[in-house]
Structure 1
């Protein structure tokens, strides 16, 4: 089984990413279950705006990232919170994933079917539940299955404050939730492998 983490931090490598540090806790939980995990910092790639997998730009890295999604049963979108919302990079990822809604596999199923997804959120401001709702809602639209408690987050609380890596505040809860997230993602992905969803039914016959 394979998992992909799309880290939607605004920080380019090699600048440290708080979001990656928390996402790595989930990755560790998945690796303990023999899941191969690959992580991509999207801002390090050229991903122009658009709503298609292939926008006809040979400098566009999204088709390669899209290929990674199709090679994985588990997707984790990891994003910081800015102004109480997902990062602009996360929004761009979801917009490019919109193209998957019209793509089908050899069995005429949407390509996101029988794949699971979860969300990691960090930020020294509140708004994590709003971010989780926005991202998981979009992933469900695209066709991913989002298990119960397939998320973890960390924030410092109201007002400005230190970042995730600058303090131990709240880490115990965030890590416990991250481990539960890994457990649930793997469990539901395993169940879908054993009993996959079929293609959605066609239109009802007119009578």
Structure 2
């Protein structure tokens, strides 16, 4: 099985602007290396480096904001077969940047593809979480639920993460943290990455999710996909 026609976008939702050290990036690098070794074209983006407006519309410049880089980022999202959201834990939850990215993904969730399905159909999603406090599973549940609700397909074991000891302590890339050598994290990151590639391959070969029973455009036109609807002509 080959993967060299697949494209992936990894969005780092660290709070730190480039070129400041991002511990999340250290974990991202593990997954990206595996994908690139298989020929996947991987694009990386640090969200905080971009002027992403707050809001629930595809282009917030149409709603009072002077600038909004999200429309251009959205085109990069649509170009990718695989989307990985990666970010840190703060107060046991996803970072504010992660939440803003998810909100803007949601802002575009009403847009449709050529088959009349929601635009994110036929793509796969996963997440990576880092921190030095508890919350990996909580953060992953929030990200993965959000992605599937928007139309992404989530493969088995589509999350991985690393945390140090509870409380102040070393982060993933700090000397002596044990993060890069942690077998549990490395195993889960590897499984996640391969499962993302496998499922993206299957979906691409199948032409995406079959377009029956899930087409918003036809539903709005009155079709009910084998559910009785005497009003439909």
Bin of the TM-score, shorter chain as denominator length: over 0.9
- Residue equivalent to 1:74: 82
User: Partners in 2 of 1:154 and 1:101 — Cα distance?
Assistant: 30
Query: Which structure would you say has the larger Rg?
Result: 2
Gaps of 5+ in 2: 1-5
CA contact (8 A) 1:11 1:17 kept: yes
After superposition, where does 1:9-28 map in structure 2 within 5 Å? 9-28=14-33
Q: Does 1:47 align with 2:58?
A: no
Q: What is the TM-score when the length of structure 1 is the normalising length? A: 0.95
Shift of 1:94: 0.6
User: Partners in 2 of 1:28 and 1:177 — Cα distance?
Assistant: 15
Shift of 1:36: 0.5
Counterparts in 2 of 1:191 and 1:83: CA distance versus 1, 3 Å: same
User: Partners in 1 of 2:80 and 2:66 — Cα distance?
Assistant: 24
**Could you report, residue by residue, the CA deviation over 1:29-70 in whole angstroms, capped at 9, with x for unpaired residues?**
111221010110000000110112212246211111101000
- Residue equivalent to 1:83: 91
Q: What is the TM-score when the length of structure 2 is the normalising length? A: 0.85
Shift of 1:198: 2.5
User: Partners in 1 of 2:92 and 2:197 — Cα distance?
Assistant: 29
- Residue equivalent to 1:122: 130
Which of 146, 167, 172 pairs up with 1:164?
Answer: 172
- Residue equivalent to 2:205: 194
User: Partners in 1 of 2:100 and 2:144 — Cα distance?
Assistant: 15
User: Partners in 2 of 1:24 and 1:107 — Cα distance?
Assistant: 35
**Could you report, residue by residue, the CA deviation over 1:169-197 in whole angstroms, capped at 9, with x for unpaired residues?**
46332122211111000000001112221
Q: Does 1:59 align with 2:67?
A: yes
- Residue equivalent to 1:101: 109
Name segments (4+ residues, structure 1) moved above 3 Å. Answer: none
**Could you report, residue by residue, the CA deviation over 1:88-135 in whole angstroms, capped at 9, with x for unpaired residues?**
000001111112321111111111101000000000001100000001
SS at match of 1:183: helix
Gaps of 5+ in 1: none
The Cα RMSD (Å) is: 1.4
User: Partners in 1 of 2:7 and 2:168 — Cα distance?
Assistant: 37
User: Partners in 2 of 1:178 and 1:36 — Cα distance?
Assistant: 18
User: Partners in 2 of 1:78 and 1:133 — Cα distance?
Assistant: 13
CA contact (8 A) 1:52 1:97 kept: no
CA contact (8 A) 1:19 1:80 kept: yes
